[in-house]
Structure 1
Amino acid sequence: MRAAPLTVTALAAALLLTACDSSSDDKDSGGPTQSSTSACEIGDMGVQVGPANTAPAAGDTGNIPVTLTNNGSKCTLEGFPAIDLNAADMSTTVPQDKGAKSQKLTLAKDATVTFTITYVRGEAGGKASLDVKTLNVGLPGGSTDNNSKWSYGPVQTQNGSQGDVNASVSAFSQAGD
């Protein structure tokens, strides 16, 4: 009489192990149990630049928060924002903040993230300054940019190179709840 319950228990355990192996294979092969979210696109985002803590004079540091609101379907941000500063005759890319670490964020519709551009104000008309006119914001894995007017004064350059600005961009940070 005891052999029957033991046999049933062993059979049930074997079936459970087989079922676990099957679902594991689906996950590894990209089967139906694996969910994927596409990279966020800037065209699906509401972009708000500022209000800023503008650097008041040459040599001062300013901070410009940028808020992105997902107006599209669920998407993922992984990495850093791509920021370009554009003057009349050239464009330069703002480097990532060396101390910042990116994280993978999944954004539902209407979710919000922020990042900050930190810059040192340059001297108006100075050789070590870039007279920025516009700001381009791009997303990792995205194919388009968002253009915004730059009204925060010239940006100081490093080592006398117009393409090497004294600025950085932080990683994305989840905003709100």
Structure 2
Amino acid sequence: MRVHKLTFAALAVAAGFSLTACQNGDDGAAQSSPSSAASASVPSSPSGGAPASAGTGAGTAKPSAGTSSDGKGAAGGTGPADSGTSGTCKTGELTITAMDSTIGGDTGGTVAVTLKNHGNRDCTLPGYAGVDLKTASGALSAQRTGEKAEPSTLKKGASVSFGVTYPLNTSGGSGVRITGMVVTPPGERQSVTLAWPGAATLPVTEGSGSPVKVGPIGSAGQGG
């Protein structure tokens, strides 16, 4: 079957390779099989260069010290010394995992990203996280679904999830290979890189905008 020439300008990637790290509490690598899960956590005071901020021309994220290269298991991170203090959840206080949540018969794919508070205090997640897919042709930023995003309090030891949806490649062509996913918690500038647990490729699309969507915090199943 003929595969259209890949045109990431049509996917708005050429102009949108930057990470969608959250601004004012909104936005927030290896390939894995659909059944696998990916996880990572990072220290609260990481060393190294500063993370890319939203709206910059940076097309890649600096992997955190706690990133798991094979996407399995959570690397140990440390939360802040203070306890019982409310405020925005810091990347270093969160263990971030991802798993395939596509249901048989669905017309599109779904990945659930879970944020678990392993810090010493309750904290707040204000709305949308930032999500960027790493592909063989460059970074692809997920767009918000537009659902209302309410700040939510994440209790110490509790978890909350949000969904990332994408079109399944049923064209018969090779499509666009996904090599990883970068997640930035709401209100944060530091990101973590996870293995991608969903389908291996995206279909080549000639329409405008990103075919990948991210829902607000709480838009997927939640665990404790």
TM-score tier after normalising by the smaller chain length: 0.5 to 0.7
Match of 2:108 among 48, 51, 61: 61
TM-score, normalisation: structure 2: 0.53
Distance 1:117 1:43, change over 3 A: same
Partner of 1:28: none
- 1:157, distance to aligned residue in structure 2 (A): 5.1
Quick one: which of 183, 204, 220 aligns to 1:137? 183
Match of 2:129 among 49, 56, 81: 81
How large is the RMSD of aligned CA atoms in angstroms?
Answer: 2.8
Share of identical aligned residues, percent? 24
Partner of 1:131, secondary structure, is: strand
Query: Which of these two proteins has the greater Rg computed from alpha carbons?
Result: 1
**Superposed displacement of residue 134, structure 1:** 0.3
**TM-score, length of structure 1 as denominator length:** 0.65
Matches of 1:101 and 1:158, distance apart in 2: 27
Match of 2:200 among 153, 163, 170: 153
Q: Is 1:40 matched up with 2:89?
A: yes
- For 2:103 and 2:193, the matched residues in 1 are separated by 19
Report the counterpart of residue 165 of structure 1 in structure 2: 210
Using a 3 Å threshold, how does the CA distance of structure 1 residues 140 and 172 change in structure 2: closer, same or farther? same
Measure, in 1, the Cα distance between the counterparts of 2:202 and 2:190.
Answer: 24
| Structure 1 residue runs of 4 or more that deviate by more than 4 Å after TM superposition | 123-126
State the SS of the aligned residue for 1:165.
Answer: coil
> Which is strand-richer, 1 or 2?
1
Q: 1:97 aligns with which of 124, 136, 145?
A: 145
Number of corresponding residues = 136
Greater relative contact order (Cα < 8 A, sep 6+)? 2
CA drift at 1:91 = 0.4
